[in-house]
Amino acid sequence: MIRLFAALAPPDPICDRLEMVQQGLPGRLTPRENFHLTLAFFGEASEPQAADLHARLLALDGAAFDFWLDGVGAFGGTRPRLIHAIVRPEPALELLHQKTAQAGRDAGLRVEER
């Protein structure tokens, strides 16, 4: 079993900004190559489910969208363990999220709400 999620790589200008912002934060820095925009978490999956999901995700289409950061947040409650950027809502991005989640469900996976 493997743990799956679907994500997009942010454009270079966003990565540049994220690198700059995280320099002023305490804790361990996230390497630029690990920056991503999570579309959906799918949890544990078998190899065949992962292959099915991969094929379904490759078949998705979607409109281009603007990518804007709208602030920062933290995961971990009163003892934050991870700082994350907040992305401004964008209809085409929301539609891509919905299509991604549906691809997971169609592959027999449970979409985790986070």
The architecture that CATH gives domain 2-106 is Alpha-Beta Complex (3.90)
Block residue for tokens 């799956």 = 4
| Domain range annotation of the chain | 2-106
**Residue 32: per-residue pLDDT:** 95
**Residue 72: per-residue pLDDT:** 86
Q: Residue by residue, what is the 3-state secondary structure of the chain?
A: CEEEEEEECCCHHHHHHHHHHHCCCCCCCCCHHHCCEEEEEEEEECHHHHHHHHHHHHCCCCCCCCCCEEEEEEECCCCCCEEEEEECCCHHHHHHHHHHHHHHHHCCCCCECC
At 27-47, the pLDDT tens digits run 888 999 999 999 999 999 999
**Residue 89: per-residue pLDDT:** 93
68, two tokens: 């804007």
**How far is it, in rounded angstroms, from Cα 107 to Cα 66?**
29
* pLDDT < 70 positions in the chain: 114
**Residue 67: per-residue pLDDT:** 86
